[in-house]
């Protein structure tokens, strides 16, 4: 593995033998960090939104699971 830091970016070089699925999970996590790095949302606000989304989803879909 090779890591290079420039003025504008960090470059990571990996051998092609690296597991693609694991690498994709890492890239997804790094993307998440990049997208949320400037967020001013508090964890409590995020949790509240997630609860509302889950409740709304369950209301719309519970008939598919409970009979």
CA distance 22 to 36: 21
Domain count, the chain: 1
Closest CA to 1 of 11, 15, 19: 15
pLDDT tens sequence across 6-58: 999 999 999 999 999 999 999 999 999 999 999 999 999 999 999 999 999 99
Cross-strand partners of 13: 2
Residue-range definition of the domain harbouring residue 17: 2-64
- pTM for the predicted model, two decimal places: 0.55
* pLDDT above 70 coverage of the chain, percent: 100
Is-contact 2 13, C-beta < 8 A?
yes
First to last CA, the chain: 53
User: Does pLDDT of 67 surpass 80?
Assistant: no
Per-residue tokens: 22: 């694991």
Residue 66: pLDDT band (50, 70, 90) is confident
């Amino acid at each position: 593995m090779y890591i290079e830091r420039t003025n504008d970016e960090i470059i990571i070089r990996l051998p092609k033998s690296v597991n693609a699925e694991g690498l994709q999970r890492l890239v997804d996590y790094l993307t998440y960090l990049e997208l949320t790095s400037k967020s001013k949302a508090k964890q409590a606000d995020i949790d509240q939104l997630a609860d509302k989304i889950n409740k709304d989803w369950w209301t719309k879909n519970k008939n598919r699971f409970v009979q």
